[in-house]
Amino acid sequence: MFQVTLKSSGRQFPVAAGETVLEAAQRAGIALPYSCRAGVCGSCKATLLEGRCEYPRNPPLALNADARAQHAVLLCQAVPASDLLLEAREITSVHDVARRQLGVVVAEKWQLAPAVIGLRLRPEQGESRLNWLPGQYLDVLLADGRHRPFSIANGPQADGTIELHVRHVAGGGFTSWVSDSLKAGDRLRIEGPLGTFVPREDSERPMVFMAGGTGFAPVKAIVEHFLALGTRRPMRVYWGARSAGDIYLRPLAERWARERPNLQFHAVVSDPEQSAGLRCGLVHEAVLEDQPDLSGHDLYMSGPPAMIDAGHQLFLDAGLPESHLYYDSFDYAPDVLAQIIAARAGINESP
């Protein structure tokens, strides 16, 4: 058993044989940043100051050669091979939010877009409501032991209502079932809250929010949280998608902009033939066109891994301190990610 020490706070915790640093930290009640839990998104990146770690589960795909040269490690995959001294950010706001399982009932199902289903879930009778912070996500637990992660699209409600935006993935068994068969009154088992993509209220810096596709769900929850607080901080919300129809809650975002003089909304469509008059291009490029200097901002981004990868380094190059960049990459479940990782590594797996 090895010991991990966090330099900034001096906190220490043990790591059992074969356990990742992130798993051990969570067991010790220490909240470190993470999202995909598969080594792809880079949310859990930290700096290794002393010691050695290995990656027996998945290769750290989110670390390029420069990051490795600067002793960066991915905590969700790093297994200590010695005692470690790490420089890592702790997320103090999520310390007291208990993670648990509960049964829920589908209270409402509706079509948000041709490929996106909206769900409202409520706790089953006798279950206490889930507590979470805006921007966190939950796992839907499947009967075979697998799980499917979905960001929560609203903040905590008095009646425990949870809103999800489920994108139908072609060939995806669970999302196809949600689209075709799930109905109001059906029951699901969930676990949460998960993730550290949450509002940072200890800042007066202007905020930029960038969402891709259904990555709008957690952005919606965080923006609504700040609006409810009555913040006067400038907010720019960018939502990128392939077509205008994929900006499925555009009227809501446009209402935010009409009602709040400190909020601007920008819809960005990548396919010019399906733009319906909206701004065309890639959403991260639109952010940089409008804010070439991000040094004085906080930036929240949520969406598919390709979007996160495209924006991450460019935003840092535009002056954004990494400590002011918060992101969530939630597009794939871990078992689906395993197939992607194998493909990237050139490993052929049987169907």
Confirm if 287 and 298 have CB atoms less than 8 A apart: no
Q: 26, 56, 90 — which closes off a domain?
A: 90
The answer to whether residue 350 is domain-embedded is: no
pLDDT grade for 309, boundaries at 50, 70 and 90: confident
Identity at 26, one-letter amino acid code: Q
The answer to whether residue 127 is domain-embedded is: yes
Q: What is the pLDDT of residues 160-179, one digit of tens each?
A: 999 999 998 876 688 889 99
Is 229 found in the same domain as 189?
Answer: no
Confirm if 34 and 112 have CB atoms less than 8 A apart: no
Q: 90, 111, 141 — which closes off a domain?
A: 90
The answer to whether residue 336 is domain-embedded is: no
Q: Nearest Cα to 250, choosing from 263, 238, 259?
A: 238
Residue 189 CA, chain-centre distance (Å), reads 21
Nearest 5 degrees, angle CA 295-CA 73-CA 70? 60
Could you give the strand order of the β-sheet that contains 84-87, starting from the edge strand earlier in sequence?
12-15, 2-6, 84-87, 45-50, 72-74
Phi, psi angles (nearest 5°) of residue 132: -155, 170
The answer to whether residue 338 is domain-embedded is: no
The answer to whether residue 349 is domain-embedded is: no
pLDDT grade for 311, boundaries at 50, 70 and 90: very high
Residue 156 CA, chain-centre distance (Å), reads 17
Is 104 found in the same domain as 75?
Answer: no
> Token match 């074969």: residue?
18
Is 304 found in the same domain as 227?
Answer: yes
Per-residue pLDDT at 44? 87
Please provide the average confidence, as pLDDT, over all residues in the chain: 89
Per-residue pLDDT at 204? 93
Say how many domains are in the chain.
3
CATH number of the domain within which 52 lies: 3.10.20.30
User: What would the two tokens of residue 58 be?
Assistant: 């998945």
Residue 157 CA, chain-centre distance (Å), reads 20
Is 129 found in the same domain as 62?
Answer: no
Torsion sign, CA atoms 89, 334, 175, 131 = negative
Per-residue pLDDT at 239? 98
Is 190 found in the same domain as 147?
Answer: yes
CATH number of the domain within which 139 lies: 2.40.30.10
Residue 265 CA, chain-centre distance (Å), reads 20
pLDDT grade for 351, boundaries at 50, 70 and 90: very low
Per-residue pLDDT at 95? 65
Interior/surface letters 71-85, b for 16+ CB within 10 angstroms, e for the rest: ebbbbbbbbbeebbe
Is 217 found in the same domain as 119?
Answer: no
Is 238 found in the same domain as 303?
Answer: yes
pLDDT at 123 over 70: yes
Is 20 found in the same domain as 128?
Answer: no
Per-residue pLDDT at 346? 53
Phi, psi angles (nearest 5°) of residue 264: -120, 145
CATH number of the domain within which 224 lies: 3.40.50.80
The answer to whether residue 34 is domain-embedded is: yes
Residue range 186-196: mean pLDDT, rounded: 94
pLDDT at 334 over 70: no
Q: What is the pLDDT of residues 7-19, one digit of tens each?
A: 988 999 999 999 9
pLDDT at 243 over 90: yes
User: What would the two tokens of residue 254 be?
Assistant: 């446009």
Q: What is the pLDDT of residues 18-53, one digit of tens each?
A: 999 999 998 888 888 887 777 877 778 899 999 999
Is 6 found in the same domain as 111?
Answer: no
Is 312 found in the same domain as 215?
Answer: yes
How far is residue 265's CA from residue 237's CA, in Å, rounded to a whole number? Answer: 5
Domain of 161 in residue numbering reads as 100-194
The answer to whether residue 95 is domain-embedded is: no
The answer to whether residue 334 is domain-embedded is: no
Per-residue pLDDT at 173? 82
Q: What is the pLDDT of residues 250-283, one digit of tens each?
A: 999 999 999 999 999 999 999 999 999 999 999 9
Global confidence as pTM: 0.80
Q: 137, 160, 194 — which closes off a domain?
A: 194
Per-residue pLDDT at 340? 44
Instruction: Look at 87 and 350; give whichever has higher pLDDT.
Output: 87
Q: Nearest Cα to 78, choosing from 101, 104, 55?
A: 55
